[in-house]
Structures are given as structure tokens and as C-alpha cells.
A and B are shown apart, each in its own frame.
Chain A
Amino acid sequence: MLTFTQVWNALGPEIVLAIGGFVAMVYEFMVTGRAKQATPWIAVLSVLTAIPLAWSKLHAPLATYSIAVIAVDDFGTIFSLFILVSVLLVLLFAIASQARLKLAFEYAYLVLFATVGAMVICSALDLVTLYVGLELLSITTYVLVALHRKNVKSSEAGLKYLIIGSIASAIILYGLSFLYGVAGSTGLSRIATALQGGYGSEPGLVYLSIALILVGIFVKISAAPFHLWTADVYEGAPTPITAYLAVVSKGAVLGFLFRVIVWLFGAKLGEWFGLVGWIAIITMVIGNLGALSQRNIKRLLAYSSIGQAGYLLIPFSSLSSSTLASVMWQNLSSTVFYLFAYSFMTIGAFAVFSVVADASGSEDVHAFTGLSKRSPWLAGMMTLFLLSLSGLPLTAGFFGKFSIFLGALGAGQIWLGVVLFATSAIAFYYYFGIIRAMYGRTQEGDTPPVRSSPMQHVVVALCAIGTLWLGIFPGPVTDLLSNLHWFG
């Protein structure tokens, strides 16, 4: 029988976030006028409370904490930490751009609820919990994308995201229902037992089920050829929400992918990861080639995030090369490291973009013209984030890509490494377009000065510190990652 202590031990950070969300909700609808401004700070406070709680769960003994539907293992905890850190940055980013964006204050607690869903799917041990968490994340983000009710782009983006996302969810659910049918249980460990390290008694149904789940997940992390919704949704959504989609949504669904596929089909990985390798290649190529023709920076960053999804799929594909546990841990650590790096550089790039786009009223690349003269600090930071995104040394992106590359080489997947480098070169080309606009000669001298609030600088500075720290002193983080007991 469950006790409240067990539930608290297993789900502490999630419970804190949910309580914080409901407190923020009640506060938001009870007060009027300027007092509403405090709502996002309640959300920030609950995230700040949840981070130490999640941190204390690292290296926790598995047996004492786990309950039937939620695992407390380092895999779930480190993904939770990644999600919490990213959500903190996104919330600060949203608060900073509130003066210009005028988001409805509902975003504060909707982000928290979505985050609870994201954390649940990274540590769930039961199909029901997995699916409920996935839908909590998805449905809440549909609302967040469409938050600007009076804005055509936002509503359209919400509608598109809703339809594509719901179809993907329905496909995943259909796949999960076959898993239940084959194993006769919704618990992941029972299913793994029933599959007997292979495909169990009904291989056809299991094949169908994996295929359906993979397709649904590829849609959700916007892997090519299921990426077509991405640019539109990212463009239409309010910019902090775009950052949330690009980082938290994507990272959490990647956690779902690892949890379900590695947990259930660990022994048969090789047969499927070749396919995932091909998907990774297509995603990297299409994402980075698609970005070449974009003039709108938000869409450019959207295509770039498709490419990043491709990089993130490489370690997943490299897992297959060997049944050695060390190979798996190595690839898992490079995924998590890259996720942290990706979080800092993407949120930072979106934050600078939001300041610049607000100043000039345009999302076009021309908005960045002469930024180095108007605001050298912002131009420098944007350069840092772009260089990190394209993977130049001394930045977090370089170190992350390098360990992914080493993992691919170690797995004998030379081609994945080659495509990783080639597409990074393409990426550098289109990022360089922005850098050239910022530092190049300006024709007209009357470019508007960039107005920015201290809060915006704080967000940009935090992201920059993260990017540089992971790039120059990656040691502590890699040590932490290599000492984790991933699945208990």
C-alpha cells in the first residue's frame, strides 16, 4: 500500500511545482490590476524550491524511493534537473519580455503544469503515467502557443500544433495499446519481462507498436520527415514559449524515447537504431538546409532546432553498437551534456532575438543590422550563442558536439560523424549571415537604439555564463554525469 511519504520521496519536485502552479493560479484570479505582476514570481519561486529537491534525489538508493509507477533513478533525476534549469530560464525570459509581449498571466502556471508533465514522462515506469504525463505536457503547450488570442499567427500556430500534436499522441497511444496487449500489463518492467529480451510471443504486434511509438515521438521532437509543423509553430508562438518548445518539450520527449525504447527493447536495440541513425542524418541535413533560405530569424532558429534534434538522435543511434553498459552510459551522458548546452545557447539566442526584434519591430535578419554599434553587449552575446550553436571551440556547443562525435566514432558509425561535421559547417554559414549583419557596415545611420530592461540582461547573462562554463570548464559536469547510476 502506498503512503504519502513514498509519494513525496518519489515525486517531491513535481508536487512542489504542482502546488506552486495552483497557488499561482488562485493568486492570479483573485487579485486585480498590478498585483497580477507577481504571478510569474510565484512560479519562479516554486522552480527554485524544486531544483534542490531534485538535486538531493541524485544518487538516491533505488529501492527505498521507487513506487510502482514512478522510478527514482538518476536518469529521471538528471532529466528533471535539465528541465527545471531550462524552465527557470524560460520563466525569467518571459518575465523580462512581459512589458512588450503582454502575455496573459496564465502562462506562469501553465508552464509549471507542462513542466510537471515533462518531468513525469522522464521518470514514469507505467504506460498510463507515461501517457498522462505526455498529454499534460502536450495539451498545456497547445494553450501556451495560442496564448495571444488576438494575434492571427499565434492562434494559427496553436491550431497547427494542436492538430499535429494530437495526431502524434493518438499514434503513440495506439502503439502503447498493443504493448499492453502483448504483455498483459501496463508496467514497463512487466512488459520487459513478457518480451523476454526479444519480441515476445507476438513479434508482429510488437514491431507495429515500436513503429507507431517511434513515429509519434519523431513528430514530437520534430525529426525529419515529420518536421513540417515546426517552423510555423515556432514562428507563431510567443518567443519565450518558442524557447520552451524548443528546449523543454524536445528534451522531455527525448527522455521518453530513451526510457521506453531502451528499457523495453534493450536487447534488440541494434535492429532499430540503424533506422534511427538514418532519421538523424535526414533530420540534420533537412534542418540545416532549410535554415539556409530563411530570412525570418525565428524560423531560422526553428530550422536550426530541427538540426539540433538530429544531433541529439545520434547518441541514441550509437547505443546500438555494443551491449556494454559503459557504451550506453557514455552516450547517455553526451546526450544530457548536449541538452544542457542546447538549453543555454537556444534560450540565450531567443532572448537576444526578442530584445532586438522588439526594438526594430521586425523579425527579419535586417533587424540585426549594425547591432554591434547600437548595443555591443547584445551583439557579443548573440555571437557567442550562435558560435556555440554551430559548435565552435570554447563554447558549450563544441564540447557537446565533440562528445557526440566521439560516441558515433566509437560505435563505428563514421557516417553519422561525417554528416554531423558537414551540417555544422552549413549551420555556421547561415549563423554567419546574422553575425555579418551585426558587425557589418551600416548604410543608414538612423537605426533605432535598442531599449532593454535589466531583467533581459540578466537572462542573457545567465545563458552566456552557462554556455561559457560548459565550454571552458566542462570537467565538473562531465564528472557528475560519468558518476551517475543511470537506471539504478
Chain B
Amino acid sequence: MALQPFLALGVILFGIGLYGALTKRNLIIVLISIEMMLNASNINLIAFSHFAVTPNANGQVFALFNIAIAAAEVAVGLAILLAFFRLRNSADVRDVNTMKW
């Protein structure tokens, strides 16, 4: 196996994630898309770690930290989303509209 397919997978995941995060209306889907972007980086890191000229574990350690950080991020995201949902009874991006300009 070569490095390129993994990088391609990473780019595709990152692209889908960015598209989803910027266009989807449901805030849960937006959070999932952000997770996809983070996982694209993890795939990059692990692939680079394996295919490096001198393979080392740095990338894998980085990926472990990213997994923990991503979990914290999504936990905070869901918590804030719950607080918002209790106030507005909606999880739609279009309802995040109290403040404008």
C-alpha cells in the first residue's frame, strides 16, 4: 500500500465534513461533520506516522490526543445544544437568529 490512498481518504473526509458543517441545517449533523473533519486529520497523522522515512509514533500519539479533544469538544457542543434546545425548542441552524448584524 502507498501513502496516497490514505491522504485521498483524508481529503475526501475533510471535504465532506467541511461541506456538511457549512451547509447542513440540523445542528447535530453539523457537529458530526466537524467530527469528520477532525478524523480526516487523524487519518493523515496515522498514515504519515506509518509511511514516514523514519516511522515514528509521534503521529499516533497526536491522534490519541485528538480523539480525546474531539470527545470533549462534542460533549461541550451537545451540552450547549441542549441548553439552546430547552430555550428555543429547536435544533435548526436557522433558529439561531436572535442576533443579527
Total interface residues on A, CB under 8 Å, equals: 41
A153 to B59, CA, bound (A): 40
Answer whether residue A275 sits at the interface, using C-beta atoms and an 8 A cutoff.
no
- Minimum CB–CB distance from A124 to chain B (whole Å) comes to 13
B76 x A157 contact (CB < 8 A): no
B65 x A132 contact (CB < 8 A): yes
Stretch at the interface among A21-29, A177-185, A407-415: A177-185
Residue of A135, A155, A178, A231 most packed against chain B (CB within 10 A): A155
- Minimum CB–CB distance from A47 to chain B (whole Å) comes to 24
A163 to B29, CA, bound (A): 11
Name B76's contact: one of A131, A139, A231, A232 (CB within 8 Å): A139
14 A-B residue pairs with CB within 8 Å:
A131-B65, A139-B76, A153-B98, A155-B83, A155-B87, A156-B84, A158-B84, A159-B84, A162-B80, A167-B34, A170-B41, A177-B59, A180-B48, A180-B49
Name A184's contact: one of B53, B61, B87 (CB within 8 Å): B53
The dominant DSSP class at the B interface is helix
Answer whether residue A452 sits at the interface, using C-beta atoms and an 8 A cutoff.
no
Answer whether residue A146 sits at the interface, using C-beta atoms and an 8 A cutoff.
yes
Residues of A close to B53: CB separation below 8 A: 184
A159 x B81 contact (CB < 8 A): yes
Q: Which residues of chain A from 129 to 178 have a CB within 8 Å of any chain B CB?
A: 131-132, 135, 139, 142-143, 146, 149-150, 152-153, 155-160, 162-163, 166-167, 169-171, 173-174, 176-178
A486 to B19, CA, bound (A): 41
Query: Which 8 residue pairs of A and B lie closest in terms of their CB atoms, listed nearest first?
Result: A181-B48, A170-B37, A177-B44, A184-B52, A155-B84, A232-B99, A173-B41, A177-B41
The residue on A at minimum CB distance from B59 is: A180
Q: Given that A159-B27, A167-B21, A173-B41 are contacting pairs, would A180 and B72 also be in contact in the complex, using a CB cutoff of 8 Å?
A: no
- Minimum CB–CB distance from B34 to chain A (whole Å) comes to 5
Q: Given that A184-B52, A232-B99, A236-B99 are contacting pairs, would A162 and B76 also be in contact in the complex, using a CB cutoff of 8 Å?
A: yes
A135 to B10, CA, bound (A): 21
The chain A residues found within 8 Å of chain B, CB to CB, are 127-128, 131-132, 135, 139, 142-143, 146, 149-150, 152-153, 155-160, 162-163, 166-167, 169-171, 173-174, 176-178, 180-181, 184-186, 231-232, 235-236, 293
A128 x B62 contact (CB < 8 A): yes
Q: Given that A159-B96, A180-B59 are contacting pairs, would A167 and B83 also be in contact in the complex, using a CB cutoff of 8 Å?
A: no
Interface string of B31-53 (1 = CB under 8 A from A): 10010011011001101110011
A169 to B77, CA, bound (A): 14
A44 to B54, CA, bound (A): 47
Residues of B close to A166: CB separation below 8 A: 34, 73, 77
- Minimum CB–CB distance from B25 to chain A (whole Å) comes to 12
- Minimum CB–CB distance from A141 to chain B (whole Å) comes to 10
A128 to B76, CA, bound (A): 21
Answer whether residue B58 sits at the interface, using C-beta atoms and an 8 A cutoff.
yes
A142 to B61, CA, bound (A): 25
B45 x A157 contact (CB < 8 A): no
Answer whether residue B18 sits at the interface, using C-beta atoms and an 8 A cutoff.
yes
A186 x B59 contact (CB < 8 A): yes
A174 to B99, CA, bound (A): 31
The residue on B at minimum CB distance from A154 is: B83
- Minimum CB–CB distance from A191 to chain B (whole Å) comes to 11
A180 x B58 contact (CB < 8 A): yes
- Minimum CB–CB distance from B63 to chain A (whole Å) comes to 9
Q: Given that A150-B87, A156-B99, A157-B99 are contacting pairs, would A178 and B44 also be in contact in the complex, using a CB cutoff of 8 Å?
A: yes
- Minimum CB–CB distance from B22 to chain A (whole Å) comes to 8
B98 x A170 contact (CB < 8 A): no
Residues of B close to A152: CB separation below 8 A: 87-88, 98
Residues of A close to B34: CB separation below 8 A: 163, 166-167, 170
A293 to B100, CA, bound (A): 12
Residue of B30, B40, B45 most packed against chain A (CB within 10 A): B45
Answer whether residue B8 sits at the interface, using C-beta atoms and an 8 A cutoff.
no
Residue of B14, B61, B81, B98 most packed against chain A (CB within 10 A): B98
- Minimum CB–CB distance from A107 to chain B (whole Å) comes to 15
Residues of A close to B77: CB separation below 8 A: 142, 162-163, 166
Name B48's contact: one of A131, A135, A177, A293 (CB within 8 Å): A177
A153 x B99 contact (CB < 8 A): yes
Residue of A132, A142, A156, A160 most packed against chain B (CB within 10 A): A156
A42 to B5, CA, bound (A): 53
Residue of B10, B18, B47, B80 most packed against chain A (CB within 10 A): B80
Residues of A close to B10: CB separation below 8 A: 174, 177
- Minimum CB–CB distance from B42 to chain A (whole Å) comes to 8
Q: Given that A163-B30, A180-B59 are contacting pairs, would A142 and B69 also be in contact in the complex, using a CB cutoff of 8 Å?
A: no
Q: Given that A146-B83, A173-B38 are contacting pairs, would A132 and B99 also be in contact in the complex, using a CB cutoff of 8 Å?
A: no
Residues of A close to B99: CB separation below 8 A: 153, 156-157, 231-232, 235-236
A173 to B18, CA, bound (A): 13
A157 to B98, CA, bound (A): 9
- Minimum CB–CB distance from B93 to chain A (whole Å) comes to 8
The residue on A at minimum CB distance from B66 is: A173
B98 x A167 contact (CB < 8 A): no
